[in-house]
Structure 1
Amino acid sequence: MRVFWAKGFAATSTDDLVQAMGIGRQSLYNAFGDKKRLYLEALDAYQQGSVAGHLRRLTAPASPLAGLRDLLAGLAADDDGLRALGCMGVGSVGEFGVSDAEVAALRAKAAAPLRARLVERIREGQAAGEIAPGLEAGDAADFIQMTMTGLQLAARGGAGIGDLHRMAAFAVDRLKAR
């Protein structure tokens, strides 16, 4: 997963994979069939893990607004090397767009539960008076998910942790009740 995450699908060679996995080429083919199957498994595992983390950060605080802040701020890894990898899912968008149905289906599968929970938390925040009542919860959830993409792309482009945290807070502040 780390090799695909760092290099993307096209730039990752079979030699890169067998070296990282410590197995022979034939073992890779026997276990996964081909590079694409391995990529899809790696992307699925990555997205399951990252969405689980997103949901934990979003849900943990009693305050929905704090949950949104934690969600976005948590995208900026403390480790410079890890932060510079950005997001494997966002990388898959850059590499495949919507041209590959299997990759697009994996992304949609990962995005759906996060969007649903975002809508719930935004509505909770509106009911509690933390989030502007006039916002359409689905649009606000889409805004947060697009902000996530932008933050992760900025991280891959070298943005520092301070800048990422500042932009995360700025985005969440746009949702506040005034």
Structure 2
Amino acid sequence: MGRPSEFDRETVLRKAASVFWAKGYAATSTEELVSAMGIGRQSIYNAFGDKWRLYLEALTDYQQRSTSAHIRRLQGPALAVQGIQDMLDGLVDDDDAVRALGCMGVGSACEFGATEPQLFDLRAKASAHLRDKLVKRLREGKTAGQLDTKLNVQQTADFLLMTMTGIQLAARSGAKAADLRQLGRFTVERIKASPSL
């Protein structure tokens, strides 16, 4: 019978994710993972397999948590338009160091593009799930008169997802929090219903 693990799997996985998030897959060494995770190399192999499988698991966990957070903010307020604004605002961290990390999922897309089917499928699944929730809130906003009635909700959902990617890339490039939040507000203003005269 194998010796039981002497570490919390979720904790060490998220420590690994923090290294991959900051450096990307290729630039992360096994030594850096051992140091960050606080467990031996053999323990990493026993628990997670090789570096690639550790990266996949870390990215999957990150993607699930970040998508859930986006959806919580989107669905939280009673007003659909406020939920959309909250979702965009939630992308922007006040801590310069955290904000500069951008999004691990977007970083993965930048590093691998569409060359790795496992990563492509992971991103597509998360994006489709969030898109479905966005479409629903956009429909609610249109019905309630908060959003422009001429909006195509499918295209608007795609536009918002691309805006999110742009905000996260700009954050990684060093954009200031105030500028990123202003971009989010500008975006929401474009889809709001015009005030009655």
TM-score range, shorter chain: over 0.9
Q: Deviations over 1:106-127 (max 9, x none)?
A: 1112112110000000000000
Map of 1:124 onto structure 2: 140
Residue 9 (1) aligns with residue 63 (2): no
Q: Distance in 1 between matches of 2:95 and 2:66?
A: 16
Structure 1 equivalent of residue 150 of structure 2:
134
Aligned partners of 2:25 and 2:155: how far apart in 1? 32
What pairs up with 1:38-117 in 2 under 5 angstroms? 38-117=54-133
Letter in 2 for 1:93: A
Deviations 1:94-113 (A, max 9, x none): 00111100011111121121
Q: Which runs of 4+ in 1 moved over 6 A?
A: none
Q: Percent identity?
A: 59
Which of residues 36, 40, 47 in structure 2 aligns to 1:24? 40
Aligned counterparts of 1:159 and 1:152: Cα–Cα separation in 2: 9
**Within 2, Cα distance between the matches of 1:55 and 1:159?**
24
Task: Note if 1:37 corresponds to 2:53.
Answer: yes
Distance in 2, Cα, partners of 1:78 & 1:62: 25
Instruction: Give the Cα–Cα distance (whole angstroms) in 1 for the partners of residues 173 and 31 of structure 2.
Output: 26
TM-score of the pair, normalised by structure 1: 0.98
Q: Which runs of 5+ in 2 are unaligned?
A: 1-16
Q: Give TM-score scaled by structure 2 length.
A: 0.89
Count of residues paired in the alignment? 178
Q: Deviations over 1:137-161 (max 9, x none)?
A: 0100000000000000000111111
1:166 matched to 2:194? no
RMSD: 0.7
